[in-house]
Amino acid sequence: MTASVPRRDGLQADVVVERGDFRLEAAFTVAPGQVLAVLGPNGAGKTTLLRSLAGLGALTDGSITVGADTWDDARAGVFLPAVDRAVGLVFQDYRLFPHLSVLDNVAFSARARGAGRARARRDAAGWLARTDLEPLARNRPGVLSGGQAQRVALARALACDPRLLLLDEPLAALDARTRLEIRGELRRHLSAFAGPSILVTHDPLEAMVLADRLLVLESGRIVQEGTPTAVARRPATDYVARLVGLNLYAGTLTDRATRRVDLDTGGILYAAGHDQDADDEGATGADPTGTDMLVVLAPSAISIHTSRPDAGSPRNIWTGVVAGLELLTDRVRVAVDGSPSALVDITPAAVADLRLAPGQAVWLTAKATEVIAYADPGRAPARAPTDIPTAGGPAR
Amino acid sequence: MTVTSPVRVPPRAPRPDGGRRPDADVTSRAPWPLAVPAVVAVAFLLLPLVGLLLRASWRDLPRLLLESEASGALRLSLVTATIATVISLILGVPLAWVLARARFRGRGLLRALVTLPLVLPPVVGGVALLFALGRRGFVGQYLDQWFGLTLPFTSAGVVLAETFVAMPFLVVTVEGAFRSADLGLEEAAATLGSRPFATFRRVTLPLIAPSLIAGSVLCWARALGEFGATITFAGNLPGVTQTMPLAVYQALERDPDAAVALSLVLLVVSVAVLALLRERWLHPGATL
């Protein structure tokens, strides 16, 4: 590993970590310049994944390589500790050194690698200038706001000229306004970074805005992988569907002509909808009868009625009982138990007009064109893993 | 250790009848079975010091202190206690780190053994040192034979005795600090390319600086007041091994005024130490 090696190496990870009863298993690649977001609920193994990539924990099995360098290979007995990996890690709690000034925090990696104090500080000052932190150079981290501390942590990680950039919930500790601002900056820095980046988050919006690809981790397993658009439109699990605010049902295609799907939990939906620009692997309509399907339906696409609607165009009509009402910012989300159960978004005025209350029997309708069905990637016959571009970052 | 603190009641105008407010500070009024012994304890702890101050002949103080023997003892005490503290820092800080961080079998036993001098009567420590490092001790005899080095009854012996007794204070204080230091910061340093010893020097040590200072002060104060191990191992030779506490003890027989004067000096030093450590000791719940 010499300085002349171009820093445009991709990451190849086949991570297996066992700790007690928990087993994390995730294989993926990240191209240089690409940003991969790892999305998942608490306890899914996101932080464990990040720590093994950073060299703060060893793999139980599998390997991690960046370019031609093996960082960890459990079978070959190779383990490069964090200090030798050249990773830039932005911790969720930032972990700035409280006894050093902002400038010396950013200069830390250069000093650690043997640079003189003056040179390290000059380089660090350059990084501070790039992140608008110059006025804070002499401050101690203790007096910084959350947003400022986040900026310093990012500058410190980037200043060590990393081959792999890792961000652990970078915006989680910020208030909503700062988050918006820092997210924009982060996006700029991520696209300027030439190496692979991995962003761990449980905020779907953060993942959608910042990442080129999404990897959804649940209970130590990858349950979905794809572009943010594809994941948002075709969630593979309840967790993802909830994150992106869709009703998701699993079922079986029983009639190709009418796209009738019999749902596993009871009920029938006719799914004639198309999603235009999801990465169309299996074009809608091509699935044979008997295919295991996932069906998504936006809460805003469902109508609610207090008496049986007759002579309408919607193909999907079913009954249910109001289970709960929740006021979102500008609408009310009604939870309806039935076959299938559904979340329905309506206006507060509609709630008042219909006098909706928990326990009330209602009819739900949805146009078949609003219901989108696709083959369930989790239950579909095995196919080759999605190819990931290996050269250059995708266009942003 | 929680002290129930009463809700602060805003001051009110005194009531005309001068009666006590029934709601005043119910939780902070000590019942007499606690209050009386507490007052006795305070008196017991402070009266002897008051006695010392009353007995002192302030006019003769400068003369008594500048008397050759006393000033020699003071200088010897300051020098040996300082050297003992430096040795304790050089050896004790790494030991504290090992006890706090390294994983090996018998670590608990080792900790108990190295902190033994905390509870061991110092005289026993002096006897032990004598039989280890004395002229006929199992290590001392070789020091004598091979290097012509004799430790007992020398100023170096004073330093050894003081280090033996005082180092555990430093080790215990610093070990606690290492144990509670934020490992996350050391991880961050590692990801930034800092090797373990560089991290220790640049991150861990600065972070535990307050405990390092507290431990050093404590160690120094203990070394300064050392009596039992010193007199047993190093003897009581004026100018060579007679430190302040030994001088006080000896002066008490011949010249009580000088003993009081010397004691006052040690009292002043102790008060200064207390002032240095006030952050740790004057706050309830603070531990070493």
Query: Which residue intervals of chain A bear CATH 2.40.50.100?
Result: 245-375
* Mean of all residue pLDDT scores within chain A: 85
Write the DSSP assignment of A38-80 as a string of letters: EE--TTSSHHHHHHHHHTSS--SEEEEEETTEEEEETTTTEE-
Provide the pLDDT for residue A276.
54
More confident residue, A224 or B14: A224
Provide the pLDDT for residue A279.
45
- How many structural domains compose chain B? 1
Can you name the residues that pair with A372 across neighbouring β-strands?
Answer: A296
CA B199 to chain A, closest CA, distance in angstroms equals 8
Cβ separation A112–B207 shorter than 8 A: no
The predicted model gives A57-79 an average pLDDT of 93
pLDDT at B83 over 60: yes
- Chain B positions touching A83 (Cβ under 8 A) are 190-191, 193-196
Domain A11-96+144-232: which topology?
Answer: Rossmann fold (3.40.50)
CA B253 to chain A, closest CA, distance in angstroms equals 53
> How far is residue A162's CA from residue A189's CA, in Å, rounded to a whole number?
13
The predicted model gives B195-200 an average pLDDT of 93
> How far is residue A55's CA from residue A48's CA, in Å, rounded to a whole number?
11
User: What does the radius of gyration of chain B's CA atoms come to, in whole angstroms?
Assistant: 24
Shortest CA distance to B160 belongs to which of B196, B126, B185, B191? Answer: B126
Cβ separation A86–B202 shorter than 8 A: no
The predicted model gives B63-89 an average pLDDT of 87
Provide the pLDDT for residue A366.
92
pLDDT-derived band at A285, boundaries 50, 70, 90: low
The predicted model gives A244-260 an average pLDDT of 88
Provide the pLDDT for residue A396.
35
- The residues in B 158-187 lying below 8 A from A, measured between CB atoms, are 182, 184-185, 187
* Mean of all residue pLDDT scores within chain B: 84
Structural domain span for residue B203 = 65-122+151-281
CA-based end-to-end distance of chain B: 14
Closest B-chain CA to A95: B185
Q: Is residue B137 part of a domain?
A: no
The predicted model gives B15-33 an average pLDDT of 63
Give Cα A262 to chain centroid, integer Å: 30
The pTM of the full predicted model, rounded to 2 decimals, is: 0.76
pLDDT-derived band at B271, boundaries 50, 70, 90: confident
Cα separation values, B74 from A346, A387, B89, Å: 87, 81, 22
pLDDT-derived band at B6, boundaries 50, 70, 90: very low
Provide the pLDDT for residue A4.
43
Provide the pLDDT for residue A62.
94
Say which residue the tokens 């010499």 belong to.
Answer: A2
The predicted model gives A196-223 an average pLDDT of 90
Q: Do B239 and B76 form a contact (C-beta atoms < 8 A)?
A: yes
Write the DSSP assignment of A266-304 as a string of letters: S-EEE-----TTS--SS-TT-SPTT-EEEEEE-GGGEEE
Cβ separation B195–A83 shorter than 8 A: yes
Q: Is residue B103 part of a domain?
A: yes
pLDDT-derived band at B2, boundaries 50, 70, 90: very low
> How far is residue A16's CA from residue A58's CA, in Å, rounded to a whole number?
9
Say which residue the tokens 């809460």 belong to.
Answer: A299
- The 10 Å Cβ neighbour count of residue B20 is 9
Query: Which residue intervals of chain A bear CATH 3.40.50.300?
Result: 11-96+144-232
- Chain A positions touching B191 (Cβ under 8 A) are 54-56, 82-83, 85, 87-89, 157, 160
pLDDT-derived band at B23, boundaries 50, 70, 90: low
> How far is residue A393's CA from residue A293's CA, in Å, rounded to a whole number?
32
B279–A contact, CB cutoff 8 A: no
Least confident range of A275-284, B41-50, B257-266: A275-284
Say which residue the tokens 């000034």 belong to.
Answer: A101
Provide the pLDDT for residue A90.
94
pLDDT at B16 over 80: no
Provide the pLDDT for residue A394.
38
Can you name the residues that pair with A201 across neighbouring β-strands?
Answer: A39
pLDDT at A321 over 90: yes
Q: Is residue B231 part of a domain?
A: yes
- The residues in A 31-70 lying below 8 A from B, measured between CB atoms, are 54-56
Q: What percent of chain A has pLDDT over 70?
A: 90
CATH number of A245-375: 2.40.50.100
Closest B-chain CA to A56: B187
Encode pLDDT of A150-183 as tens digits. Answer: 999 999 999 988 999 999 998 888 888 888 888 8
The predicted model gives B191-209 an average pLDDT of 93
Can you name the residues that pair with A73 across neighbouring β-strands?
Answer: A63, A78
Cβ separation B206–A112 shorter than 8 A: no
B119 φ, ψ (degrees, to nearest 5):
-110, -15
| Alpha helices by DSSP H, chain B | 32-55, 61-66, 68-101, 107-114, 122-133, 140-147, 155-180, 183-191, 196-199, 205-207, 209-224, 228-233, 244-254, 256-276, 278-281
Q: What percent of chain A has pLDDT over 90?
A: 44
Say which residue the tokens 């340093």 belong to.
Answer: B189
Provide the pLDDT for residue A167.
95
Provide the pLDDT for residue A336.
92
Residue type, A96: L
Encode pLDDT of A349-393 as tens digits. Answer: 888 888 888 998 999 999 988 898 888 876 644 333 443 333 333
Q: Do A88 and A166 form a contact (C-beta atoms < 8 A)?
A: yes
ipTM > 0.85? Answer: no
Provide the pLDDT for residue A314.
83
pLDDT-derived band at A327, boundaries 50, 70, 90: confident
A23: Cβ contacts below 8 Å, ≥ 6 apart: A16, A17, A220
Mean pLDDT comparison of A248-262, A347-361, B54-68, B89-103, highest-scoring range:
B89-103
The predicted model gives A188-192 an average pLDDT of 90
Q: Do A193 and A127 form a contact (C-beta atoms < 8 A)?
A: no
> How far is residue B286's CA from residue B269's CA, in Å, rounded to a whole number?
22
Look up the CATH number of the domain holding residue B69: 1.10.3720.10
Closest A-chain CA to B199: A112
Token pair belonging to B66: 């500048």
pLDDT at A50 over 90: yes
pLDDT at A117 over 80: yes
The predicted model gives A49-61 an average pLDDT of 93
